Amino acid sequence: MTKRVYEAAKEYGVPAKTVIKTLEDHHIKAGNFTGIDANMKSILDASFKKGAKGEAQRGQKQENKQTGEGTSRKVNETSRQNKNKKQGNTPKQNNQNHDKKRQNQGNAQNQPNRAAKNSQGQNQGNRPQNSHKGGNNAGQNTQGQQGDSKRTKYFGHSQGGNDGNNRNNSKNKRGGQNNRNNNKNNGSRPHTLLSNVLNKGKHNKNKRNQKHQAPVASEAPKKKNYPTSVELPETIIVKDFAERLGRDVGEVMKKLLMGGIMATINQELDFDTASLIADEFGVTVTKEAPPEDPTEIEEIIDPPETLKTRPPVVTIMGHVDHGKTSLLDAIRQTNVTSHEAGGITQHIGAYQVRYEGKKITFMDTPGHEAFTAMRARGAQVTDIAVLVVAADDGVMPQTIESINHAKSAGVPIIVAINKIDKESANPEHVMQQLTEYGLISEDWGGDTIMVPVSAHKKIGLDDLLENILVLAEVQDLKANPNRPAQGVVIEAKLDKGRGPVASVLIQKGTLRVGDTIIVGTCFGKVRAMNNERGERVKKAEPSIPVEILGLNDVPEAGDILNVTDEKTARSVAEKRLEKKRSSELHVNAKVTLDDLFNQIQQGELKELPLIIKGDVQGSVEALSQSLMGIKSDEVRIAIVHSGVGAINESDIMLASASNALIIGFNVRPDAAARKMAEHEKVDMRMYRVIYDAINDVEAAIKGMLEKKYEEKIVGRAEVRKVITTPKVIVGGSYVKEGKITSTSKIRLIRNGIVVHEGEIDGLRRFKDDVKEVAAGYECGITLEKYRDIKEGDEIEAYEMVEVEPE
Ligand SMILES: Nc1nc2c(ncn2[C@@H]2O[C@H](COP(=O)(O)OP(=O)(O)OP(=O)(O)O)[C@@H](O)[C@H]2O)c(=O)[nH]1
């Protein structure tokens, strides 16, 4: 596909104007939407590709003279530098980045004071705090989470060219007006801070007037006085956009058409597209500050000097029966000293141990399910995942799930090879198996810490704890304890005697008895706090789990706790409730195959995460490889997890947390997964032919997915007894859901795997042929040309319904 100028500019990392200017220097006239031919490409490659800096810089310098874009370029460059840094930046490293940024910006020539001030605003915005809504750990820039991108979107910031650290910018939404504008100019769009400032100075002394410029055109129809700069929101419909530019809608639509965008008058344009079109009209654009969100609690920015080292928070994951609970118990028994263990240990969702004078917080619910469920709600508490693998059993399906869940959350893994006391233990084999999943032991030249342990014999526990502390130190986990507290609910319940009880892990600040708190949609005053030994405590610092009493209602796991004043707590909680009620109607937009193209077009989706489940390893591999082979300029396919077997709740949770689409090949979701997928609005697509799956994904990316028919499940029956007659095999079945009709198409499912797809041959109740059997009744089912029916099989009846075109 021929690239257009603005797309090429993005690729070269220079403003579109620079590209246009360079082409002009070669006597080629071009606009933002001009297609790049081979000749133009060779000129641009020579100018902007690596090793051809001279000309690019020359072009840039000329450009700077006219538009002052030099400043923006520097900002963008720094932004790229930051982006390129591993996501695992420590707050310290981040600060270094900010310093670098300051330096860069300080060096920018001819920078007016205002711009310089803005730059600082931006630096401030970059401090390593996370949005409370994000619920990320204090100072945890180490974990670029999917949840973040959702929030970034929520606040209405373009993600173009931003990632990692820069995401945090967008969260510091109350960092002041300058800060806001800067954040928004970070993307690789052809408008710049400096040019905006200059333009504003020239044309619009009063910034407020800009917002309402449209009437200018209508008031003076004869001599049109078009605005030269406007403020635009994150998205705007064509009609309003035209109004702000003071132009006819027709003119705007024409320009859009020239850019290859067929838009209707009410179509939404994203900021980048609107900027490009405005540019075509010679109008400079700045981004309008998003409206304050009444459901947000003001984010507190912690200066780096206030940050103190905090204990790591560890979650234990692994396959069923590999010894997660035993390991948690062994660690607790050995490291909670007897004088501390005054009371009986209580289950409050997490506990702390002390090792060599340092503390480690362990999440008390082992397994990746709780971890991912919390992440799906936007909260992440885990700093380190300990992956338990039984030395006698090796890597199993949930081991792989755990690895993928931790990786998807960006949480580093320590492997505990358990049960080494067993004779059949083969730790080397486990190490070997783990290499297939990218976990290579330090002993073998990799960077994954692997510790042989025995929970039973208490072997290797010291080694494990020591390594957790080492990894924590590398991560440089810090938080400011001297500020109003922020935390995450890890468990909550309604206690008969005590009322709502919530276990909270404090992430920043210190929570004290008497503090007024808001927790999700609940609020109250901390009446009392208990630690995991059931002892009353007066305060809780970062990484400390406490059980709190005093809330007006039971919050949900993953809800964020903030300390605030009573009035704010009450009103924000009310607003959140309202919002929750209305958003329950349309649960947050998840990626769906039908809407894929739209999301790609709107720049909301740069990566398409997929979860692939199949009946056998071979088909999973073939499907994964073929899907990875789909080429697209706009979107990169990433396989978050793949495995053999039915689609289960864990898959849905991971899909929800990582905004992934599930592709099933010859498998079906189990009942619980189906329910959860419905609730979480996760799109699952089932296929029997690999080619169809590839075709659909490819077509969806290109916006050509044909959706004429949709499958509708009409009922499900369970085969309870198989009756063999000389002629036929009858599945004596019980209809569990919906109804089974004699004309339904059916699928025969065994352990979540589709073993046959076809039609019903006969449907009987007692001796009579019947047309349909409803839920709650028994019936005899024979299948057309298929005899291999077994007890426990599920018969899923479906029909294909025509879908009305939208
Ligand atoms: N020999 C030996 N057995 C162990 C060890 N650790 C755990 N086991 C045994 O392995 C079995 C499973 O242990 P659990 O701790 O319940 O495993 P889990 O991973 O928590 O299991 P789920 O909670 O079901 O996922 C139990 O019978 C334990 O006694 C060990 O170090 N050595």
Is 321 part of any known ligand binding site?
Answer: yes
For residue 759, count other CB atoms closer than 10 A to its CB: 14
State yes or no: pLDDT of 257 exceeds 80. yes
Maximum separation of any 2 CA atoms in the chain, in Å: 94
Q: How far is it, in rounded angstroms, from Cα 797 to Cα 603?
A: 39
pLDDT (0 to 100) of residue 549: 95
pLDDT (0 to 100) of residue 697: 84
When mean pLDDT is compared across 48-57, 106-115, 404-413, 692-701, the lowest value belongs to 106-115
pLDDT tens, position by position, 554-592: 998 889 999 999 999 998 998 888 877 766 544 455 666
Beta strands at 358-363 and 313-318: parallel, antiparallel or unpaired: parallel
The share of the chain scoring above pLDDT 70, in percent, equals: 72
Is 106 part of any known ligand binding site?
Answer: no
pLDDT (0 to 100) of residue 601: 63
Contact 662, 655 (CB under 8 A): yes
The minimum-distance atom of ligand 1 relative to the CA of 459 is: 31
The per-residue pLDDT of the chain, averaged, comes to: 75
For residue 316, the CA-to-ligand 1 centroid distance in Å is 13
When mean pLDDT is compared across 150-154, 421-425, 710-714, the lowest value belongs to 150-154
pLDDT (0 to 100) of residue 20: 85
pLDDT (0 to 100) of residue 736: 92
For residue 376, the CA-to-ligand 1 centroid distance in Å is 28
636 pLDDT band (50/70/90 cuts)?
confident
Reading phi first (left if > 0) and then psi (alpha if -120 to 50, else beta), residue 206 is in beta
pLDDT (0 to 100) of residue 56: 42
In sequence order, the β-bridge partners of residue 754 are: 749
pLDDT (0 to 100) of residue 50: 61
pLDDT (0 to 100) of residue 754: 87
488 Cβ contact list (under 8 Å, min separation 6):
135, 374, 379, 381, 504, 505, 507, 558, 559, 560, 561
The minimum-distance atom of ligand 1 relative to the CA of 388 is: 19
Beta strands at 516-519 and 522-530: parallel, antiparallel or unpaired: antiparallel
Is 679 part of any known ligand binding site?
Answer: no
State yes or no: pLDDT of 209 exceeds 70. no
State yes or no: pLDDT of 55 exceeds 60. no
State yes or no: pLDDT of 115 exceeds 50. no
- By alpha-carbon position, which residue is closest to atom 2 of ligand 1? 419
Q: Choose which residue among 325, 327, 398 to substitute to test ligand 1 binding: the one with the highest number of ligand atoms within 8 A of its C-beta.
A: 325
Beta strands at 607-614 and 413-418: parallel, antiparallel or unpaired: unpaired
More confident residue, 130 or 399: 399
pLDDT (0 to 100) of residue 545: 95
pLDDT (0 to 100) of residue 255: 87
Per-residue HEC secondary structure of 742-753 comes to CCCEEEEEECCE
646 Cβ contact list (under 8 Å, min separation 6):
613, 667, 668, 669, 670, 673, 751, 752, 753
688 pLDDT band (50/70/90 cuts)?
confident
For residue 324, the CA-to-ligand 1 centroid distance in Å is 7
Angle at Cα 324 formed by Cα 321 and Cα 327, nearest 5°?
125
- Alpha carbon 511 to chain centroid distance? 29
- By alpha-carbon position, which residue is closest to atom 21 of ligand 1? 321
Specify the DSSP class assigned to residue 615.
S
407 Cβ contact list (under 8 Å, min separation 6):
413, 438
The minimum-distance atom of ligand 1 relative to the CA of 326 is: 15
CA dihedral 661, 490, 386, 471 (to 10 degrees): 110
Is 366 part of any known ligand binding site?
Answer: yes
1 pLDDT band (50/70/90 cuts)?
low
- By alpha-carbon position, which residue is closest to atom 14 of ligand 1? 323
User: CA distances (Å), 447 to each of 412, 415, 560, 645, in order?
Assistant: 10, 11, 33, 31
pLDDT tens, position by position, 473-507: 999 999 999 999 999 999 888 888 888 999 999 99
Q: How far is it, in rounded angstroms, from Cα 192 to Cα 73?
A: 8
690 pLDDT band (50/70/90 cuts)?
confident
144 pLDDT band (50/70/90 cuts)?
very low
pLDDT (0 to 100) of residue 226: 83
pLDDT tens, position by position, 270-295: 888 888 889 888 898 888 877 677 77
pLDDT (0 to 100) of residue 172: 37
More confident residue, 567 or 710: 567
Is 137 part of any known ligand binding site?
Answer: no
For residue 533, count other CB atoms closer than 10 A to its CB: 17
Contact 295, 575 (CB under 8 A): yes
Q: Choose which residue among 320, 325, 326 to substitute to test ligand 1 binding: the one with the highest number of ligand atoms within 8 A of its C-beta.
A: 326
User: CA distances (Å), 182 to each of 9, 106, 112, 535, in order?
Assistant: 21, 15, 15, 48
pLDDT (0 to 100) of residue 515: 96
State yes or no: pLDDT of 96 exceeds 60. no
Contact 527, 513 (CB under 8 A): yes
Average pLDDT estimate for 453-477: 95
Is 514 part of any known ligand binding site?
Answer: no
Is 306 part of any known ligand binding site?
Answer: no
Is 319 part of any known ligand binding site?
Answer: yes
Per-residue HEC secondary structure of 31-60 comes to CCCCECCHHHHHHHHHHHCCCCHHHHHHHH
pLDDT tens, position by position, 615-634: 888 888 888 888 888 877 77
For residue 419, the CA-to-ligand 1 centroid distance in Å is 8
State yes or no: pLDDT of 75 exceeds 50. no
User: Which of 56-70, 98-112, 309-323, 660-674 reaches the highest mean pLDDT?
Assistant: 309-323
For residue 421, the CA-to-ligand 1 centroid distance in Å is 12
State ipTM: 0.98
Q: How far is it, in rounded angstroms, from Cα 561 to Cα 547?
A: 12
The residue type found at 364 is: D
Contact 148, 136 (CB under 8 A): yes
152 pLDDT band (50/70/90 cuts)?
very low
HSE (CB half, 13 Å, CA atoms) of 43? Answer: 19
Q: Copy the structure tokens of residue 763.
A: 């449907």
Q: How far is it, in rounded angstroms, from Cα 692 to Cα 670?
A: 22
For residue 393, the CA-to-ligand 1 centroid distance in Å is 12
State yes or no: pLDDT of 108 exceeds 60. no
Q: Copy the structure tokens of residue 578.
A: 């309202």
User: Which amino acids bring their CB within 6 angstroms of ligand 1?
Assistant: 318, 320-326, 366, 418-419, 421-422, 454-456
More confident residue, 677 or 65: 677
Average pLDDT estimate for 527-540: 92
Specify the DSSP class assigned to residue 315.
E
Domains of the chain with bracketed CATH: 5-48 (no CATH), 229-287 (1.10.10), 305-479 (3.40.50.300), 486-585 (2.40.30.10), 603-704 (3.40.50.10050), 708-803 (2.40.30.10)
State yes or no: pLDDT of 460 exceeds 70. yes
